[in-house]
């Protein structure tokens, strides 16, 4: 996959712009990058703080050829790419929190959001990635739950170097996903990088209930398997998963 970079000083949301470009017929690999977002968002419409030059904010237009049931694996594919880029460039030891957050030292450093649209060219996905570069990208009240590359390495990261490495890794694993048995390969690569894959004590907030239990791997589409305290296996397609700390 080749990338075409479309840069903005400021946009409402790189995902919104990528979805707009996809509807206009943008090809796979269009990469919308902004120095600042005024309406950045995460899952469930949550705000993603996007101070000027304090984070890497970008979205890529994808036109996957995989079966629809495997589309959720695109988020996992992106998480693998972010993990490898942070490890390669900064020597960090990330963890992938199911399904779309990257943590370092139990604090969030990156969020991922994939959104779909239809265009004349068929199904398109805007894959948005936001990485905290500097401490200034979040307010003091989030200091206990969020971190940045600057905070973890004591040096100011180069956003363009990270973008180049991250998109290279993304192209690599996206190609794997589209290959024969790609879904299985992506699940295996994700499992190697995530402590949430198996035997993790978690609390899961669903739309109408909250459950606690232990993770037991992934379904073929990337859904999380959780064995409840009562011994029932729950398949989590969407929800907030939190690690349960031992007292």
> CATH number, domain at 175?
3.30.930.10
130 and 202: one domain?
no
Q: Which of the four pLDDT bands, split at 50, 70 and 90, describes residue 41?
A: low
Q: Which of the four pLDDT bands, split at 50, 70 and 90, describes residue 46?
A: low
Contact yes or no for 173/111 (Cβ under 8 A)? no
167 and 142: one domain?
yes
168 and 215: one domain?
no
Contact yes or no for 77/173 (Cβ under 8 A)? yes
140 and 215: one domain?
no
pLDDT at 29: 97
26 and 122: one domain?
yes
Q: Angle at which helices 182-193 and 159-178 pack, to 10 degrees?
A: 140
Q: Is pLDDT above 50 for 44?
A: no
Mean pLDDT for the stretch of residues 188-199:
96
Contact yes or no for 218/233 (Cβ under 8 A)? no
pLDDT at 173: 98
- As a whole number of angstroms, the distance between CA 231 and CA 43 comes to 29
106 and 67: one domain?
yes
Give the pLDDT confidence of 113-153 residue by residue, as tens digits: 999 998 777 899 999 999 999 987 677 777 788 999 999 99
Domain residue limits at 225 = 198-243
Please say which residue of 193, 210, 234 terminates a domain.
193
189 and 202: one domain?
no
Lowest-confidence range among 71-80, 133-142, 214-223?
133-142
Average pLDDT, the chain: 91
168 and 229: one domain?
no
């Amino acid at each position: 996959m080749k990338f075409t970079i479309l840069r903005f000083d400021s946009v409402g949301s790189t995902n919104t712009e990528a979805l707009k470009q996809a509807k206009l017929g943008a090809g796979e690999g269009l990469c919308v990058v902004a120095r600042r977002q005024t309406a950045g968002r995460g899952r469930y419409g949550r705000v993603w703080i996007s101070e000027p030059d304090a984070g890497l904010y970008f979205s890529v237009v994808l036109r996957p050829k995989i079966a629809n049931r495997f589309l959720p694996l695109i988020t996992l594919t992106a998480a693998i790419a972010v993990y490898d880029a942070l490890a390669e460039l900064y020597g960090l030891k990330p963890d992938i929190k199911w399904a779309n957050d990257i943590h370092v030292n139990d604090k969030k450093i990156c969020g991922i959001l994939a959104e779909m649209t239809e265009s004349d060219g068929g199904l398109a996905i805007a894959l948005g990635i936001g990485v905290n570069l500097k401490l200034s990208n979040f307010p003091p009240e989030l200091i206990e739950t969020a971190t940045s590359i600057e905070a973890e390495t004591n040096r100011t990261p180069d956003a363009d170097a990270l973008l180049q490495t991250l998109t290279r890794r993304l192209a690599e694993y996206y190609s794997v996903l589209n290959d024969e048995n790609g879904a299985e390969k992506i699940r295996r690569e994700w499992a190697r990088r995530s402590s949430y894959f198996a035997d993790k004590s978690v609390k899961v907030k669903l739309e109408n209930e909250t459950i606690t239990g232990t993770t037991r791997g992934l379904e073929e589409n990337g859904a999380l398997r959780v064995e409840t305290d009562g011994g029932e296996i729950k398949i989590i397609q969407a929800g907030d998963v939190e690690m349960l700390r031992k007292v």
